[in-house]
Structure 1
């Protein structure tokens, strides 16, 4: 058992190979210090996000401490010996004790900064797994099993389905979730409208609850989804329906402002707009006014999203054609954008 150990990495992102190394290093030390390296000029995943991931893995282990080490190098290739000595001094100051052992992967050798900057410490080389952060960044879906549960929400894509009433949103949302073996979020308003028994008799506070609950449902469901999450309607659709609520103007304005606020923090990787070209089915909850003017109200919904500069893809045709078109668009979502070899975060 070593007194003080150190294990470092950029964790960009954290993967199961890191998790194994952290556990094994902690098992061999009375205290383990993990150094989270962060390149301020390298378009890396935010250091607060990386810290949270690692913390989630070690929070139950009493002998592990986390530290953040930042540098100004513009690429990992340019992180050369001129940085090594200064950064090792910072690390030693952070830990404040003699470092008995330094843990690292066996892709490092006697010429690496670990060996050169910590000559007084034993170097323990972990056998590298087949995985790497670079591989995961290149295609998270392909290496999904290597991504810890706490990290997966960062990579999950969100697909929003919108449109007027009786255009098949709910059915298509569930069908897509089943097809991709993942989660979906129901339209929160459907359940809450039953409080009044009639959509047109809903109270202003019902709409407030719809807006808040829908966002909370999305946050919670994101934690357990499988690569993609499907969302049936959003806050701007709720904003559209506010015009059918007979209430005082101030209450309506307050809910519209809440909808706009939530919309400002929402982000979706793909928005599918379902056109009103399938048969209208009255299930007892749908508005007759919208039924009479489906195209008019469909265009009004589009205008709300246009005002927010939210791009959407229109889906037309019968149910089979809609399903196939949706799959085509979802499969075409790019996982990452690259610039000069560095990951550009598009979340």
Structure 2
């Protein structure tokens, strides 16, 4: 039985890594992928290890996490290669036949481990991408990112504001325009199932449903995910209807941020339905929404005017956001 190893930071994983690992696992009978990470790196090591397990765990490949604080270049420590050998030995087969890599360090690493080096796409002619390029401009290299990784880099736009101001329609129209996905308002789904009734105990359910839907759809988004409301708006509604908000929802609302908020003004006709409550208070609610965005230092613009004017304003803001993160 032949054995092999791939070592990488996978910062983040991309299709170049996928090609390397697929090549290796078809070359040998038993492949180990070592995800080597440092605490100071911009994407948590545990997340990268989980991504790699999701991508390759079902293929029979062993994916292990090496999180020791090791030197990253031979110039950093006189015992560089000994330190790496000692760290890798417990994680790899006792008899290692091949080391696969798309970097020149593979020659020396294979020698240290008593294995043969198999180079794969050293010049990046097959997969012209690198982790550095992805981190510098993930949207430009979107097609090289696996779905699980895309959810980390996707830009999130929240359509935010009072009821009956076209939020759902705007989110859907933007998603169609940018060939992406709109996350529906979970509160509407829940309240409609209760024939228009809402109680204080529903707020946590609404918050959990909203975030679950958003995180599930983030993987399928095309660079930008459009969200019809968020947890910050849920806190405003909870305070407005029940004079309070659960701590869990407040905490989660503070933790979740978006690249851009589109705050919809109330200069459009009110349309009655069973999940709308404030026909006479939309202006006050708008002011509350804007105050909350300012208080939280969220990036936002106000969209107003005709439906077409709103759409064009929103499209321009999203395009500007994509070019100038």
- TM-score, shorter chain, exceeding 0.5: yes
Q: In the alignment, is residue 95 of structure 1 matched against residue 92 of structure 2?
A: yes
Does the C-alpha gap of structure 1 residues 81 and 161 become closer, same or farther in structure 2, counting only changes over 3 Å? farther
Match of 2:207 in 1: 211
Query: More displaced, 201-210 or 164-173?
Result: 201-210
The alpha-carbon deviation at position 230 of structure 1 amounts to: 0.9
| Cα RMSD for the two superposed structures | 2.8
SS of 1:6's equivalent in the other structure is strand
Match of 1:341 in 2: none
Does the C-alpha gap of structure 1 residues 67 and 164 become closer, same or farther in structure 2, counting only changes over 3 Å? closer
Q: In the alignment, is residue 114 of structure 1 matched against residue 109 of structure 2?
A: yes
**Residues of 1 paired with 2:176 and 2:279: CA distance?**
29
TM-score (norm 1): 0.81
The alpha-carbon deviation at position 208 of structure 1 amounts to: 3.6
TM-score (norm 2): 0.86
The alpha-carbon deviation at position 116 of structure 1 amounts to: 5.2
Q: In the alignment, is residue 29 of structure 1 matched against residue 25 of structure 2?
A: no
The alpha-carbon deviation at position 238 of structure 1 amounts to: 2.7
The alpha-carbon deviation at position 224 of structure 1 amounts to: 1.9
The count of corresponding residues between Structure 1 and Structure 2 is 321
Consecutive unaligned residues of structure 1, counting only runs of 5 or more, are 338-347
**Residues of 2 paired with 1:194 and 1:244: CA distance?**
19
Matched-pair contact (CA < 8 Å) for 1:273–1:314: yes
The alpha-carbon deviation at position 65 of structure 1 amounts to: 4.1
Task: Deviation per CA, 1:85-141: give whole Å up to 9, x if none.
Answer: 321232124326132211112x4178x5425534x3211111243222222222222
Consecutive unaligned residues of structure 2, counting only runs of 5 or more, are none
Query: More displaced, 231-240 or 150-159?
Result: 231-240
**Residues of 2 paired with 1:297 and 1:93: CA distance?**
60
Q: In the alignment, is residue 304 of structure 1 matched against residue 300 of structure 2?
A: no
Match of 2:138 in 1: 140
1:223 to 198, 219, 226: 219
Match of 1:20 in 2: 19
Task: Deviation per CA, 1:235-277: give whole Å up to 9, x if none.
Answer: 23233333564x7xxxx64x44343132033221111211222
Q: In the alignment, is residue 235 of structure 1 matched against residue 231 of structure 2?
A: yes
Does the C-alpha gap of structure 1 residues 285 and 11 become closer, same or farther in structure 2, counting only changes over 3 Å? closer
SS of 2:165's equivalent in the other structure is coil
Does the C-alpha gap of structure 1 residues 71 and 167 become closer, same or farther in structure 2, counting only changes over 3 Å? same
1:294 to 269, 282, 291: 282
**Residues of 2 paired with 1:134 and 1:144: CA distance?**
13
The alpha-carbon deviation at position 37 of structure 1 amounts to: 2.0
**Residues of 1 paired with 2:90 and 2:194: CA distance?**
64
Q: In the alignment, is residue 268 of structure 1 matched against residue 268 of structure 2?
A: no
SS of 1:184's equivalent in the other structure is strand
Matched-pair contact (CA < 8 Å) for 1:211–1:258: no
